[in-house]
Amino acid sequence: MPEPQLCDISVPGRRGMRYPAVDVPKSELPAGLVREELPLPEISEVDVVRHFTRLSQLNYAIDLGMYPLGSCTMKYNPKVNEDAARLSGFALIHPLQPVDTVQGALALMYELQEMLKEIGGFPAVSLQPAAGAHGELTGVLIIRAYHRDRGDTQRKKILIPDSAHGTNPATSAMAGMEVVQLPSDARGNIDLEALRSHCDERLAGLMLTNPNTLGLFEENILEITEMVHAAGGLVYGDGANMNALLGIARPGDLGIDVLHYNLHKTFSTPHGGGGPGSGPVGVSELLADFLPAPVVTIVEEGDEEIPPLYGYSTPAKSIGRVKAFYGHFGMFVRAYTYIRMYGPDGLRKVSEHAVLNANYLRVLLKDTYRVPYDRVCMHEFVAEGRWADAPDIHALDVAKRLMDFDFHPPTNYFPLIVPEALMIEPTETESKETLDAFAAAMLRIAEEARNNPDILHSAPHQTPVGRLDEVKAAKELVLCCGVSAPAI
C-alpha cells in the first residue's frame, strides 16, 4: 500500500498554524500576482508532525546507525553544528545585504578560508563551489586558465587513474579537456611508467585522489607530482578523502597545485539524498590569481579594540563566478563549528581513529572477504563480495542482506577496478562495539552465501520497500499521491 500523502489527509478548514496580526499598513498587490486558487493541503499541526515523523522513519539515517558508505564519509554530524547554523544572525541573513550588516558572517567565512589553507597547506582558498564535483570543475577550469594565460593552449590532456571517482573524468570533459585513463599497478598505486609516457608538452595536468579510492595512500606521491611538474603540467588533488589526512599530511606540501575539500564529508556537514554540500578549493601560489570571485578579504585591518572590516575581492585573473552569491553558507557555519570544536589536535585524532577503525575492520574481514590490494589502508578499504563456491552471490546481495542487520550497505561496484567491490568506510565516529557487530553481520552473511543463498537474494526483508529497480526509481522519483515505487 502506498504511503498516504499530505493531500490524502487534508480536510477542508483544518489549520496547523496562525499568522501574527498585521502590524504594517495594508496595500494592494499588483494585479495578476495573486492566484485565485491555491490548493494546499489543510491539516492540523499534530497530523503534519506525525506525517513527517513517520516519513522520516521510513529512511535509514546516520542518526540511526552505522553508514559505512565508502568514499562518502558518512560520519556522525555533531548537533552543536546545527545549533550554530540555526543562530538567527547566521540563519536569517540575506546574501544581498550590505556588507556592513553581515560582518560576522564574513568573519566566519574568512576564518574558515584561513583554517582550510592551514589544513591543506595552500596559500589561497575559495569557498564558492557547491560540492565536490563542482570543486573539481572549478579546479580544472583554473588549470585551463593557467595554461591559456601562459599561451600554452595545446595543453589539454588530463590524466586520470582508473581507480578515480566518476566525477573526475566527467568534470574534465565538461571543462573541454581530453581525458586519458592511467592504469593502477599491483599495489594499487598509479602505474609510473604509464604516467611517464604521457608527460609531454600536451599535458595539462593529472587528477589524483590521495588516499585513492582503494583506500590506499599513493606511495609514490612525491615522484608523481615532480614528474608532472617537470613536464609543465599541474596536479589536481581530489580531496574527498581528506578524512585520512587531517593534521598528518598536507596535500599542498606533497606537490598538489589545486584541491577541493568536501566540507560535507571531512567536516561533518550533513549530506545524502541530494542535500547541499560544499566543495571549497585550495590552490598553490601559482594559481591564486585564477580563483573564482568573490573571495572574502580583510579590507581594513583591525586592532586590539576594533575588529577588522571584511569585504570581497576579485583575484587578478579570476575564472569568474562559479556559483550564485557566495557558496553554501549554512555548510560553512557547520564546518567552522566542527573545526573549532576539535581544534588541531582533535582533528588529527579524527583521522587517526578513521584509519584505525578501517584497519580494524579490514583485519577482521580479510580472511572471509578477499581484499585484492591487501596492505595497511587509510580511512577505508575495498573487499570483494564474491566467492567461487557461491557463484550466484553478488556484492549487491551482500549489501542488501546487511540492511536486515540494521546497517547501511557499503558502496558497491566502485571502484571499477575491483570486481564485485564492497567499499567500506566505517569513519572515526563508530565505537568498537558497533564495528564488532558490523563484522559479525558480514561474517554471518558470508556463511549464508554458501548455506542459504536465497536469504541473500530476497533481502532486504524488513525495510518499507524491498528491491527496487534503482535506475528507474531514481529517474522516476515518486513524489505524488497514489503511485507506488517501481519494483524490479
Ligand X SMILES: Cc1ncc(COP(=O)(O)O)c(C=O)c1O
Query: Is there binding between residue 188 and ligand X (CB under 6 A)?
Result: no
Distance CA 338, CA 334 (A): 6
CB 293 within 8 A of CB 315: yes
Segments in 166-211 forming alpha helices (H): 167-174, 192-198
Q: Between vectors from CA 302 to CA 299 and to CA 307, what angle results, nearest 5°? A: 100
Strands 411-412 and 421-424: antiparallel
**Taking contact as CB under 6 A, which single stretch among the options 129-137, 180-188, 395-403, 474-482 is the one that binds ligand X?**
129-137
Interface with ligand X (CB under 6 A), residue from 163, 184, 213, 357: 213
**Taking contact as CB under 6 A, which single stretch among the options 126-134, 185-193, 371-379, 388-396 is the one that binds ligand X?**
126-134
Kindly state the cell numbers that stand for 106. 564574513
**Taking contact as CB under 6 A, which single stretch among the options 130-138, 298-306, 334-342, 375-383 is the one that binds ligand X?**
130-138
DSSP string, 131-177: SHHHHHHHHHHHHHHHHHHTT-TT--EEEEETTS-THHHHHHHHTTP
Interface with ligand X (CB under 6 A), residue from 128, 167, 210, 427: 167
**Taking contact as CB under 6 A, which single stretch among the options 33-41, 50-58, 125-133, 338-346 is the one that binds ligand X?**
125-133
Q: Which residue, 126 or 262, is less far from ligand X as judged by CB? A: 262
The SS3 call for residue 111 is helix
Q: Which residue, 405 or 414, is less far from ligand X as judged by CB? A: 414
Instruction: List binders of ligand X among 256-275 (CB under 6 A).
Output: 262
Q: Which residue, 166 or 307, is less far from ligand X as judged by CB? A: 166
Q: Which residue, 119 or 459, is less far from ligand X as judged by CB? A: 119
**How many residues of this chain bind ligand X (CB under 6 A)?**
14
Residue type, 462: Q
Query: Is there binding between residue 131 and ligand X (CB under 6 A)?
Result: yes
Residue type, 5: Q
Distance CA 92, CA 135 (A): 26
CB atoms within 10 A of CB 265: 25
Distance of alpha carbon 415 from the chain centroid = 16
Q: How far is the CB of 120 from ligand X (least distance, A)?
A: 15
Q: Which residue, 70 or 252, is less far from ligand X as judged by CB? A: 70
**Taking contact as CB under 6 A, which single stretch among the options 37-45, 81-89, 128-136, 389-397 is the one that binds ligand X?**
128-136
- Compute and round to an integer the Cα radius of gyration of the chain: 25
The Cα-based distances of 233 to 161, 250, 276 in angstroms read 16, 20, 32
Q: How far is the CB of 73 from ligand X (least distance, A)?
A: 8
Distance of alpha carbon 243 from the chain centroid = 11
Interface with ligand X (CB under 6 A), residue from 68, 120, 129, 132: 132
Distance CA 72, CA 69 (A): 6
Distance CA 383, CA 198 (A): 31
Distance of alpha carbon 438 from the chain centroid = 23
Q: How far is the CB of 279 from ligand X (least distance, A)?
A: 6
Q: Which residue, 120 or 279, is less far from ligand X as judged by CB? A: 279
Site string for ligand X, 28-67 (x = CB under 6 A): ----------------------------------------
Query: Is there binding between residue 72 and ligand X (CB under 6 A)?
Result: yes
Q: Which of 79, 229, 60, 266 is nearest to 143 (CA)?
A: 229
Q: Between vectors from CA 383 to CA 378 and to CA 388, what angle results, nearest 5°? A: 160
Strand arrangement of the beta sheet that strand 411-412 belongs to: 381-384, 421-424, 411-412
Interface with ligand X (CB under 6 A), residue from 51, 75, 165, 400: 165
Q: How far is the CB of 235 from ligand X (least distance, A)?
A: 15
Q: How far is the CB of 213 from ligand X (least distance, A)?
A: 5
Q: How far is the CB of 480 from ligand X (least distance, A)?
A: 27
Q: Which residue, 113 or 163, is less far from ligand X as judged by CB? A: 163
CB 177 within 8 A of CB 142: no
Site string for ligand X, 223-252 (x = CB under 6 A): ---------------x-x------------
Distance of alpha carbon 71 from the chain centroid = 8
Interface with ligand X (CB under 6 A), residue from 51, 66, 68, 71: 71
Q: How far is the CB of 130 from ligand X (least distance, A)?
A: 8
Interface with ligand X (CB under 6 A), residue from 68, 270, 279, 294: 279
By CB atoms closer than 10 A (0-12, 13-18, 19+), residue 392 is exposed
Whose CB is nearest to ligand X? 132
Q: How far is the CB of 71 from ligand X (least distance, A)?
A: 3
Q: Where on the chain is the footprint of ligand X (CB under 6 A)?
A: 71-72, 131-133, 165, 167, 209, 213, 238, 240, 262, 277, 279
